[in-house]
C-alpha cells in the first residue's frame, strides 16, 4: 500500500463528505421527528379543543336561561334589585366608610339574631380533590359547618322575614 499524497487527500475528502452526509442525515431525521411531533401535538390540540367545546356546550345547556329561571323560581326567588339598593357613584360608596364627624349622631347598631353563633352560616369551601376544607377555612372553626348549619341559617332568614311582615 503506497499512499501518495493525492490519494490521501482524496480519501480525506471522501471521508469529510461521508461525515457531512451522515450529519445531514441525522439532522434531517431529527427535523422530521420534530415535525411529526408537532403534527401529533396539533392533533392533540384539535382533540382537546373539540372536547373543550363539547364540555362548554354541555355547561351552557345545563345552565341555560330557562334552567336558571326554573332553579330561581324553585330555590331562590331572587328578584330584580330595587332602586334603593343601588349606590350612585364612588362618592356615595365612600360616604359609607367615613368616620363620624364631631357632634354627629351615633350610628344605629343592629343586634344580631341569636342562635347563629359565631360560626359563619355558609359551608366551608372544600377542595374537590382531597375532600378537606381549604387551608384558609381549615384554620377557623368552620369544620362543623354542614347542611344542618345552612338549614339553620335559612330558617333564621325565614323567621326574620316573618318577623318583619
Partner 1 sequence: MTAISISTRVSTGRRKLVNIRQRSLLTAKWRGLWVLACFAAITVCALLRIVYLGFFGPAPRGMDMANALLPDRGEIVDRNGVPLARALSAYALWYNPNALGGGSPLVKSPAEVAAGLAKVFPDMDPAELADRLATGQPGYLRRRILPEEANRIHALGEPALEFPRETERYYPQGSMGAHVLGFVSSDGHGRVGMEQVYDKRLTDPATRSRPAQLSIDARVQGALEDELGRGMALSNAKGAAGIILDVDTGEVLALASLPAFDPNLIDQAGTTNIFNRVTNQVYELGSTFKPITVAAALDAGTVTDLSRRYPSSRPLSIGGFQIRDSHSLGESLNVPEALIHSSNIVTAQIADELGGQRLKATMQSLGMNERPFVELPARGFPLWPRGDWARITTMTVSYGHGIAVTPLHLASAYAALVNGGIWRPATLEKLAPGQAPAGRRVFKASTSARMRQLLRMIVAYGTGKKADAPGFRVGGKTGSAEKPGAGGYRRSSLVATFAAAFPMDRPRYVVIAMLDEPQGTPATSYQRTAAWNTAPVVARVVPRIGPLLGIMPDETRDIDITDLRPLIPGEASE
Contact footprint for partner 1 (CB under 8 A): 24-25, 28-29, 31-32, 35-36, 38-39, 42-43, 45-46, 49-50, 53-54, 57, 60-61, 64-66, 69, 80-84, 86, 88
DSSP letter assigned to residue 133: B
Nearer to partner 1 among residue 6 and residue 79 (C-beta) = 79
CA distance 58 to 62: 6
CB of 157 to partner 1, least distance (A): 23
Q: SS3 for 126?
A: strand
CB of 107 to partner 1, least distance (A): 23
Q: Which residue has the cell 343592629?
A: 110
DSSP H/E element including 94: helix 89-95
Q: Which of 41-48's residues contact partners 24+ apart within 8 Å by CB, and which partners?
A: none
Nearer to partner 1 among residue 42 and residue 146 (C-beta) = 42
CB of 14 to partner 1, least distance (A): 17
CB of 51 to partner 1, least distance (A): 11
Nearer to partner 1 among residue 56 and residue 146 (C-beta) = 56
Nearer to partner 1 among residue 28 and residue 158 (C-beta) = 28
Taking CA atoms, 46 is separated from 32, 37, 41, 49, 78, in Å, by 21, 14, 9, 5, 41
Amino acid at each position: 500500500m503506497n499512499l501518495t499524497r493525492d490519494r490521501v487527500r482524496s480519501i480525506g475528502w471522501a471521508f469529510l463528505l461521508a461525515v457531512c452526509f451522515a450529519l445531514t442525515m441525522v439532522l434531517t431525521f431529527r427535523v422530521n421527528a420534530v415535525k411529526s411531533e408537532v403534527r401529533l401535538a396539533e392533533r392533540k390540540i384539535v382533540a382537546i379543543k373539540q372536547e373543550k367545546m363539547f364540555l362548554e356546550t354541555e355547561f351552557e345547556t345545563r345552565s341555560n336561561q330557562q334552567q336558571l329561571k326554573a332553579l330561581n323560581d324553585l330555590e331562590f326567588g331572587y328578584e330584580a334589585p330595587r332602586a334603593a339598593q343601588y349606590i350612585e357613584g364612588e362618592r356615595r360608596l365612600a360616604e359609607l366608610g367615613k368616620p363620624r364627624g364631631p357632634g354627629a349622631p351615633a350610628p344605629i347598631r343592629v343586634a344580631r339574631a341569636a342562635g347563629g353563633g359565631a360560626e359563619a352560616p355558609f359551608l366551608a369551601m372544600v377542595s374537590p380533590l382531597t375532600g378537606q376544607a381549604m387551608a384558609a377555612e381549615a384554620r377557623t372553626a368552620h369544620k362543623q359547618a354542614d347542611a344542618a348549619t345552612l338549614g339553620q341559617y335559612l330558617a333564621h332568614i325565614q323567621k326574620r322575614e316573618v318577623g318583619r311582615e
